[in-house]
C-alpha cells in the first residue's frame, strides 16, 4: 500500500531525505532536512494522501510536521533529545497539495528540563502554521524511548 | 491488514466513499460511536494503535494524536451543536499528558465550551481506558452558508448490518 502512495517529489537543493523515519513519519513522508548556518530546516511535498475534505493539507499533518521540525531544532541547538510536552498552533493559511512546504524551529529559552520553542511552517507564497511549544529535555545518557 | 476489533457500537468512518484515500483514511482506520444526545458519549471517535501510527520509540506518535484530536473537535463538537458542516481549524493547543502503546484502543471525546456565530470553542480528550493521554483545546471556524457537509464522511452502516448478521 505504501508503495502505491509514494509521491514522486522534486527536492530543492541541499535537502536530504530522512531515511531513519519509521512508523508514523515513514507512513506520512518522505520528509527532508537541510542544515543551514547550524539550523535545521525540514521540507516535504504533500501528496493527495495528505489532503482533507477541502483538498488542502490536513491540519493534523501540518501539526505533525511542524512538531518534528521544532523537536529537531531543540536537538541541533542544545544537543539534547526532547519530547513534546505542549504545542500551541495557529493556522494562518492553507497548505497546498503539490507545494514544497518547509518548517523550522527556534529555541527561545530553556532550563535543565524544558525548552521553549517557536516554530514556523510556510509554503512558497505564505505562512501556513505558527507554533509555540514546550519540550521536555531527555537526559543525555538516556536512549530515545519516549514519544518524540 | 491488522485487525482493529473495535468495541461494540463503533462503526468505521467512511471518509472518502470510494474515491482515493485522503489523510483521514490514510492514517486510520478511524471509528465513531454515537451515543445519547447531550451526554459526553454523544460522539466518540476510536482507533486501534498500529505500528504505522507510532514513533521510533514504539509509542503512539504525537502527530497521530494531534490529527485525531483535530477531527474529534470539529466532527464531535460540530455534531453536538448540530452543525453538519466542515469546520476549518483556526487554533489548537495540545498537552501530551501520557503515552499510548501499540495495540491500545484510543478514544476521543469533545466538550463544547462556547459557540458564536462564526467560531466554535471545544475541549478535547483522548483516553486509553480510564487514562487520559492527550488534553487539547480548539477554536474552529464556522463558515457562513452551507459549507461542505463533513466532506464525504459517513458512518459505515453496512458494517453494522454485517456485524449483526443476517437472520437464518
CATH number where A87 lies:
3.10.129.10
Establish if A80 belongs to a structural domain.
yes
CATH annotation of B11-163: 3.10.129.10
Instruction: Give the per-residue pLDDT at A8.
Output: 54
**Cα distance from B66 to chain A (closest Cα, Å)?**
6
B61/A64 touch (CB, cutoff 8 Å), yes or no = yes
Confidence bin at A147 (pLDDT 50/70/90): very low
Q: State how many domains chain A has.
A: 1
Residue among A136, A130, A80, A81 nearest A103 (CA):
A130
Residues of A with Cβ-Cβ distance to B99 under 8 angstroms: 146-147
CB pairs under 8 A between A and B: 151
- The proportion of chain A whose per-residue pLDDT surpasses 70, expressed as a percent, equals 89
DSSP B125: E
Establish if A32 belongs to a structural domain.
yes
Give the tens place of pLDDT for each residue, B121-139: 999 999 999 999 999 999 9
Total Cβ atoms within 10 A of residue B38 = 8
Helix/strand/coil percent split, chain B, to 5:
20, 35, 45
In this structure, what C-alpha cell is assigned to residue B155?
458512518
Using the Cβ of A28 and the Cβ atoms of chain B, whether some distance falls under 8 Å is answered with yes
| Ramachandran assignment for A5, one of left (phi > 0), alpha (psi -120 to 50 degrees), beta (any other) | alpha
Give the tens place of pLDDT for each residue, A34-74: 998 888 999 999 999 999 988 899 999 999 999 999 999 99
SS3 A28: coil
Total-model pTM: 0.87
Which domain, by its residues, includes A59? 16-137
A74-85 mean pLDDT: 93
Q: Closest-CA residue in chain A for B151?
A: A53
Residue of B2, B27, B72, B73 to mutate, interface with A, max A Cβ within 10 Å:
B27
What sign does the dihedral B59-B61-B62-B68 (CA atoms) show?
A: negative
pLDDT mean across residues, chain B: 88
Instruction: Give the per-residue pLDDT at B142.
Output: 93
Give the tens place of pLDDT for each residue, B24-83: 888 989 999 999 888 889 999 999 999 999 988 889 999 999 999 999 999 999 999 998
DSSP B77: H
pLDDT mean across residues, chain A: 88
B92-119 mean pLDDT: 96
Q: Closest-CA residue in chain B for A94?
A: B88
Establish if A143 belongs to a structural domain.
no
Amino acid at each position: 500500500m505504501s508503495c502505491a502512495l509514494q509521491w514522486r517529489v522534486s527536492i530543492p537543493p541541499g535537502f536530504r531525505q530522512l531515511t531513519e523515519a519509521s512508523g508514523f513519519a515513514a507512513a506520512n513522508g518522505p520528509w527532508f532536512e537541510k542544515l543551514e548556518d547550524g539550523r535545521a530546516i525540514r521540507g516535504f511535498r504533500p501528496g493527495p494522501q495528505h489532503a482533507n475534505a477541502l483538498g488542502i493539507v490536513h491540519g493534523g499533518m501540518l501539526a505533525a510536521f511542524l512538531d518534528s521540525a521544532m523537536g529537531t531544532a531543540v536537538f541541533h541547538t542544545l544537543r539534547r533529545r526532547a519530547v513534546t510536552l505542549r504545542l500551541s498552533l495557529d493556522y494562518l493559511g492553507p497548505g497546498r497539495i503539490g507545494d514544497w512546504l518547509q518548517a523550522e524551529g527556534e529555541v527561545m529559552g530553556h532550563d535543565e528540563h524544558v525548552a521553549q520553542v517557536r516554530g514556523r511552517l510556510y509554503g512558497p507564497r505564505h505562512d501556513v502554521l505558527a507554533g509555540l511549544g514546550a519540550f521536555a529535555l531527555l537526559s543525555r545518557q538516556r536512549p530515545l524511548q519516549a514519544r518524540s | 491488514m491488522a485487525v482493529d476489533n473495535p468495541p461494540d457500537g463503533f462503526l468505521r468512518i467512511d471518509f472518502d466513499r470510494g474515491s482515493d484515500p485522503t489523510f483521514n483514511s490514510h492514517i486510520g482506520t478511524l471509528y465513531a460511536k454515537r451515543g445519547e444526545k447531550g451526554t459526553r458519549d454523544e460522539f466518540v471517535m476510536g482507533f486501534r494503535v498500529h505500528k504505522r501510527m507510532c514513533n521510533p520509540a514504539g509509542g503512539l506518535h504525537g502527530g497521530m494524536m494531534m490529527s485525531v484530536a483535530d477531527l474529534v473537535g470539529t466532527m464531535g463538537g460540530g455534531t453536538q451543536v448540530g452543525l453538519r458542516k466542515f469546520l476549518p481549524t483556526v487554533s489548537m493547543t495540545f498537552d501530551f499528558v501520557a503515552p499510548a502503546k501499540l495495540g491500545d484502543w484510543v478514544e476521543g471525546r469533545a466538550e463544547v465550551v462556547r459557540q458564536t456565530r462564526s467560531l466554535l470553542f471545544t475541549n478535547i480528550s483522548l483516553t486509553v481506558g480510564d487514562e487520559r493521554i492527550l488534553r487539547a483545546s480548539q477554536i474552529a471556524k464556522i463558515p457562513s452558508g452551507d459549507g461542505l457537509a463533513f466532506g464525504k464522511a459517513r458512518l459505515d452502516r453496512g458494517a453494522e448490518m454485517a456485524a449483526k448478521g443476517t437472520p437464518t
